[in-house]
Amino acid sequence: MQPLERVKVLDFSTLLPGPMCTLLLADAGADVIKIERASGDDMRDYEPKVGPDSVNFCLLNRGKKSIVADLKDPVIRKKIESLIAEADVIVEQFRPGVMDRLGLGYEAANAINPRIIYCSITGFGQYGPYAQVAAHDMNYQARTGMIGLGGDKSGAPFVPPVLTADLAAGAYPAVMNILLGLRSRDQNGTGCHLDVSMSDNLFPLMYWGLGAGWAAGQWPRAGDELVTGGSPRYQIYQTADDKYLAAAPLEDKFWNNFLSILGLSELEHLDNPALVKASVAKTIAQHPAAYWLEKFDGKDTCVTEVIGLEQAVSDPHFNARGVFKRGLIAASGQRMPALPTPISAVFLSENPDNTSPKLGAHTQEVLK
């Protein structure tokens, strides 16, 4: 039996944070009912597509049921209220107040089912000056100072390649708090309203910068800190064949090994980061990546080649661990690897439903 077997989740969310959250719940055994408008989740229309739906939608919504419901229709809303009465969890990510106006906010849901765990995922939380501001992942990273940590010493930032707010600060904290809500309900018999603010949850990811600022007044400068490009011990170096090595020999034992292999042991105690960085860069630039990878192999130096995603998914290590062994069947019938999730293998079903649902495929079944 999976940990969340017999837990029913009503998913009113679209796009990324909520669907990723409910994907993780589904992987742990929850029965997830995705409630969509007639045109479907916006993610269905993204490119590239696998049949009628985008591959993004298929990856994020496998193993769920899809129903079409006009939440403004009083008759349909009554049926949704019947589902709420028997549900355990609601996940929604509208702007604050939208679900209230639909008559499906926390107070209304709690009146129907006092045991409901009601999770609201938003960019800036349920209250505060920015609560109604339209924004996306990059905006949250910009507002919280995360983008400002990166870039070069001139302070010029770059577009972040990972949707950190949606995932690490939205979907994952939502799952964590839903599980805590279910555990709390086991103890006291009542549900709760979870206010998951993606911008709030970005700050713990920058703990080191906050600590330096609060304790010593040393607020991080772009491209100039230990893990943002200021140190030769945590740096990207270009090789002679225009490839790149990610070098992270932070601890002395790794750093000494690193310098020894480069033939630069005299730099071991030199307190001039810019000079050391330039010397290391000049040395690494004299040979191709394969040369250095052979030199560093097995030597405990924390050096890795920078590769592309296509090469990464074929890496023998991840294949040996079966990271991509689970399959996904799109609504069109096409098969591909399923998106791996951080749910431990001991909690996964041996025979999962890994099919992504057609729009409204379960409407009759669920609302009958």
Confirm if 102 and 23 have CB atoms less than 8 A apart: no
pLDDT at 232: 97
Which residues, 6 or more positions from 31, have their beta carbon under 8 angstroms from its beta carbon? 6, 7, 8, 9, 65
pLDDT at 150: 86
In this prediction, the residues of the chain whose per-residue pLDDT falls under 70 are none
Q: Catalytic one among 70, 73, 100, 136?
A: 136
Has 315 been annotated as catalytic?
A: no
pLDDT tens profile 207-237: 999 999 999 999 999 888 999 999 999 999 9
Q: Where in the chain is the domain with CATH 3.40.50.10540?
A: 8-197+321-367
pLDDT at 153: 73
The CATH number of 8-197+321-367 is which of 3.90.1150.10, 3.40.50.300, 3.40.50.10540, 3.30.70.1150? 3.40.50.10540
Confirm if 256 and 238 have CB atoms less than 8 A apart: no
Cα 22 off chain centre by: 12
Rounded CA-CA distance 290/245 in Å is: 10
Q: Catalytic one among 27, 41, 88, 166?
A: 166
pTM comes to 0.95
Whether the CA torsion 72, 77, 80, 85 is positive or negative: it is: positive
Has 193 been annotated as catalytic?
A: no
pLDDT tens profile 34-75: 999 999 999 999 999 999 999 999 999 999 999 999 999 999
Confirm if 160 and 52 have CB atoms less than 8 A apart: no
Rounded CA-CA distance 262/260 in Å is: 5
Q: Give the alpha-carbon dihedral of 309, 14, 89, 171, to 10 degrees.
A: 30
What end-to-end distance do the CA atoms of the chain give, in Å?
28
Confirm if 143 and 149 have CB atoms less than 8 A apart: no
pLDDT at 155: 74
